[in-house]
Chain A
Amino acid sequence: MGFSIPGHHGLRGVMTAFPSSQRNPVQAIGGHARSIAGWCLKEPTGAFGALILALLILAAIFAPVITSYEPNAVNYRDLLQPPGATHLLGTDELGRDIFSRLLYGARLSMAVGVSAVVLSVLVGVPIGLLSGYVGGFVDELIMRVFDSVIALPPLVLALTISALLGPGLVNATIAISIVSVPTYIRLTRGQVLSIKNEDYVLAARSIGVPVWNILFVHILPNAIAPVIVQASLGLGFAIILESSLSFIGLGAQPPVSTWGSMVQTSFQFLSLAPWFVIAPAVAIFAAVLGANLLGEGLRNSLDPHQKQRM
């Protein structure tokens, strides 16, 4: 699967990859968790993706240790310096160290990506559980409302929401979450529909277990696997979307930079300082590649059909 707007294509891909015949993916996860090394051998590309993400996250966390330059310190005597010993990746149009801005930018880009995913899972999964389990009119209503969200192109929708909320990273995170939420709702609901008539669910209902208990204790653990895969793919989507919003000025506000706003600024200097645009672009590429590879790897190992094909 390609990673152009993985959110929505990912939805279809994941849904077809998890037919209703799937029974107990929790055991599959548990099994692999016991042997991470074994999983890495079985899914080398997925492991590679995880490695990229891990490196980026570590670089973000240890940014102050890795670089000594303050990311927003301007130095107008060293404008647009090429990469070299003093400045590993050169300097930008205000003489700021690009490597340092890249690392500190990683903090924000990753934080926005992860928060957006966590937020949309926390909102989307419970709604999906409820919608699938209750069914009927409630289900119809919820589905039609969120279908209308899916009907809009994700970037345009995120752009509109960001513009309405005002520029800034927090608002960008909210916008990305709103765009991503329907995916998790549909995914969870689909799983619930195939699980809710299973014997163990019926048994729980017959002995009067409360609805919330059935949803979160009996159904959720068996419906979560595709959500985990989607969350991993969604991370890549969220990072791209955040970069796009920052590119048009709706994300990070100067002087703070994320990868997207760095690409935006460097764009003007394409012919004079090509290294300036390459650095953040490669970072975005690596993060999205990592998230997608990890997602693919997880799907391969969690989906019985994929295994048979291999």
Chain B
Amino acid sequence: MPPNGSYLPQGNPQYVVRNYYLELIFLGILLLLLVDLLNSVRTGALPLTRLLTFVWDGIIIGLALGLAGVGLSMTYSILGFANVSHGDAMTAGAFLGWSSVFLLVGYGDEAFGQLLLLGVGGDLFASDLGISLFKRPWAVLFGIVATGALTAGLSLLIDRLVFKPLRDVGSLMVLVASVGVAFILRYLVVFFYKPTQRSVAVAPERAAIGLFDGVPVIAASREELVAGESILEFPVGVGRKTQSYLQVTSHEVLLIVTTILLMVGLHLLLQRTKLGKSMRAMADNEELARARGIPTERVINWTWIIGGSCTGIAGFLVVLERGTMSFQFGWLLLLLIFAAVILGGIGSIYGAIVGGIVIGLTTTLSLVWLPEATLARPVAFVIMILVLLVRPQGLFRGRVVG
């Protein structure tokens, strides 16, 4: 890979010109869409409330994709293969994590088997346990840690059983093996937990943030906000009515805060610690890393632990935010995670986050123009392909962890 990171032939004016025009055209289209968006808000065709909700939802989806993408990105750059079982490891980890939360909350009050299998058979419902961030804060925090640990353990186990023995066979074989692992995990989940979708958390606490003459006002609910009964406001605006608002839930805020904290932690780990630097060294040049005495197998184990726990935590938080889970959720997210990671530049954790947010915002904001919501997913992939046409290596270039 040339140092400037471009796959295009160097010094070939034809390519340079074509590249430049494409970029300009895309920027122009983006600008037009932005103008149209602002115009719709101005004329009232697009209520501000709706736009705010799109942006907020896009950021939430994006951060979840990014956090889940970090593991995919790290295993790609350090082990050199695209892990298709990543999404199902997320599902399996989330099921195991939620089982442990159910056991923690309901042990003694409910049947053990029902708790362990998240209410298979239908006698145990989310409302029996009442799990939400404010009602059971410790259970939720425990769930984050437990799901992270269980998914890390699961990832290590899969590596030991499947990927490690295939390490020297070639990345295509490992990729195919990972497809097999994906199916095995998915149908093990189906076997134990049954294919029914179930709800695991109760409705989260809500708050509505309204804008009144540009002044933000927070109320416990949309109704209170519109009625002017705001519980918190700064700096003024008591009792005034507002039409535009954004409704947020405690679980959404938890997802955002946790993801940002983990990203900062990951950044510090990669930049400041010996382990993080050795991971970057190995992603950069494995043979040299080995020649310098870096214990590559140990680095690989840590890669699975860190990537696995980020993925598991992302899965737990997504389920908490949605309130429901089914055996397919990780698999369904996987394609978007791939899109996010590839868009951002595979190997880069910042790329995973930025790519995730671009994909997230695309899937929600495209609803402004799209006639049908089912088209939102394809549009995300169209955007990914367009970006890759202009920047073949993604937004953040290079096979770098960090």
- A and B found bound together: no
Task: Give A residues with C-beta under 8 Å from B.
Answer: none
- Tell me the B residues contacting A by CB distance below 8 Å: none
